[in-house]
Chain A
Amino acid sequence: MNLTLKIWRQKGPKDQGKMVDYKVSDISEHMSFLEMLDVLNEQLIEKGEEPVAFDHDCREGICGMCSLYINGEAHGPDRGVTTCQLHMRMFNDGDTIYIEPFRAKAFPIIKDLTVDRSAFDRIQHAGGYVSVNTSGNTQDANAIPIPKDDADKAFDAATCIGCGACVASCKNSSAMLYVSAKVSQFALLPQGQIEAKDRVLNMVNQMDLEGFGNCTNTGACEVECPKGISLENIARMNREFLKASIK
């Protein structure tokens, strides 16, 4: 496959940045999108040019490190996959592909296509945990009976890898799908009840402080989420927040 790539290049956080055109040829349809970018970067290095900076780590769709807004969609045109699992067979020979960073005020650009998603870490620190005594006498979690349905829903919420596709896709740059997944994974389990009130209040407060937008229920996040995190989690977070605010 021969492709034209339009890639956002930005030297640093304060740089203006612009879209730059590149040509790549002989791309195999079996390559992942990131492997295609590796090919481009090898070409650039051979020519003595600066390679394109992009985030990646496990390359098997579980770490949440890769990002990219490809042809107008977070993680590209495929569904339920991260960019590392997006294959070039989703594109056609001769295509022009737009590659941009995840854009949000709360995700400032570090360089080229890499963005700072540490706002998510700070939201987690604000309450995305259960306090467990690790003295050595920790109770086996399986000793507490949990309805299968609740366990399944908590597990589904916990599959969120925190990649930020929800924020990137949302017209308001809202982080509610992410935060709601992190609230829900504990809200559904007995272990999460003790700190439930403070958790939701503190996490939502931190989310607001980070400068994410407000959710208007367009549902774009759910569609683009590589892990299929459901909008049901946002409704649950809204309930948890209302309960905590009234108490």
Chain B
Amino acid sequence: MAKNAFRKTSIGRKVLMALSGLFLMLFLLQHLTINMLSVISPDMFNEVSHFMGTNPIVQFLLQPILIAAIIFHFVMGIALDIMNNKAREVKYAYNKPSANSTWMSRNMIITGLVILAFLGLHFYDFWIHEITEKYIEGDMSGLNAQGEFRYHEELVEKFVDIWRVIIYCISFVLLALHLQHGFASAFQSVGARTGKNKTALQKFGNIFAFVVPAGFIFIALFHHFTHGAH
């Protein structure tokens, strides 16, 4: 029997979706840890930002992998949603999905698209600026006109605008909803969820889905109210 390549099978797709999701969750944890430094110690934040922004392994190996994972995750997510919609051509006249599944699990495409839109703004805010500064204008020093590291002040500047803070916070709430299903779901997809660890995985997933976005919300609000509102 002619068989599809692994990446074209239904299980292959969900495994790849789960692996890219797990990788992105690890990235979120690392991103949150570094951002927390901006609250604890601006100097430490500057040091780590400069390291991340100039280290060749981070810049030319990890960064491309991260971008590839993001692109893969949303392209595959959208493609799967289109395929899945086609699997039921005539919809039910009366359907009651709330009786058997959570809103989060059924609406990953909605929460995902909001996060994708947020990523557009986020890349515009930070990534494009960094790439322009470093690789187009060729300034790898990470210093401002006064000869000090520019990273912390640039970060704080972004959170002066209340509307940006509101957009960021709403996006993080949607991220929380996405992770609430995504975390345990990823383990199920790779076959790691069993009867024994099922409850623990869901509980840990709930904690992860709350703590990570709440951390980002805290950082945005912290900078807005301590530095921004002057």
The residues in B between 1 and 16 inclusive whose CB is less than 8 angstroms from any CB of A are 1, 3-4, 6, 9-15
A192 on interface, CB distance cutoff 8 Å = no
The interface-forming segment of B33-41, B66-74, B88-96 is B88-96
State the B residues within 8 Å of A (CB): 1, 3-4, 6, 9-15, 80, 83-84, 86-97, 99-102, 105-106, 108, 181, 184-185, 188-195, 198
8 Å CB contact of B93 from A19, A201, A224? A19
9 tightest A-B CB contacts, nearest first: A72-B96, A213-B87, A239-B191, A172-B84, A223-B100, A238-B191, A98-B94, A173-B87, A218-B105
Q: Which residues of A contact B192 (CB under 8 A)?
A: 235
Q: Tell me the bound Cα distance from A21 to B9 in angstroms.
A: 42
Q: 1/0 per residue A199-236: CB within 8 Å of B?
A: 00110110110011111111110011000001110111
The interface-forming segment of A41-49, A82-90, A100-108 is A100-108
Q: Are B105 and A72 in contact (CB under 8 A)?
A: no
8 Å CB contact of B188 from A8, A103, A207, A235? A235
Q: Are B87 and A73 in contact (CB under 8 A)?
A: no
Q: Which residues of A contact B88 (CB under 8 A)?
A: 103-105, 172-173, 213
What number of residue pairs across chains A and B have CB atoms under 8 A from each other? 143
> Could you tell me the distance in whole angstroms from the C-beta of B74 to the nearest C-beta in chain A?
15
State the A residues within 8 Å of B (CB): 6, 8, 17, 19, 69, 71-73, 77, 98, 100, 103-106, 126, 169, 171-174, 176, 201-202, 204-205, 207-208, 211-220, 223-224, 230-232, 234-242, 245
Q: Are B14 and A103 in contact (CB under 8 A)?
A: no
8 Å CB contact of A214 from B13, B102, B105? B13
Given the known inter-chain contacts A8-B93, A230-B195, please indicate yes or no for A223 contacting B99, CB distance below 8 A. yes
8 Å CB contact of A235 from B3, B9, B96, B193? B193
> Could you tell me the distance in whole angstroms from the C-beta of B201 to the nearest C-beta in chain A?
11
Q: Which residues of B contact A237 (CB under 8 A)?
A: 11, 191
Q: Are A234 and B188 in contact (CB under 8 A)?
A: yes
Interface-centre pick from A104, A171, A207 (highest chain B CB count, 10 A): A171
Q: Are B100 and A224 in contact (CB under 8 A)?
A: yes
What are 15 A-B residue pairs whose CB atoms fall within 8 Å in the complex? Answer: A103-B88, A172-B87, A172-B88, A201-B3, A202-B3, A211-B87, A214-B10, A217-B185, A218-B106, A219-B101, A235-B194, A241-B9, A242-B15, A242-B190, A245-B6
Q: Are B9 and A205 in contact (CB under 8 A)?
A: yes
Q: Which residues of A contact B1 (CB under 8 A)?
A: 126, 202, 205
> Could you tell me the distance in whole angstroms from the C-beta of B84 to the nearest C-beta in chain A?
4
Q: Which residues of B contact A8 (CB under 8 A)?
A: 93
8 Å CB contact of B3 from A205, A212, A216, A236? A205
> Could you tell me the distance in whole angstroms from the C-beta of B199 to the nearest C-beta in chain A?
12
> Could you tell me the distance in whole angstroms from the C-beta of B216 to the nearest C-beta in chain A?
25
Q: Tell me the bound Cα distance from A38 to B89 in angstroms.
A: 29
> Could you tell me the distance in whole angstroms from the C-beta of A7 to the nearest C-beta in chain B?
10
Find the B residue at minimum CB distance from A222.
Answer: B100
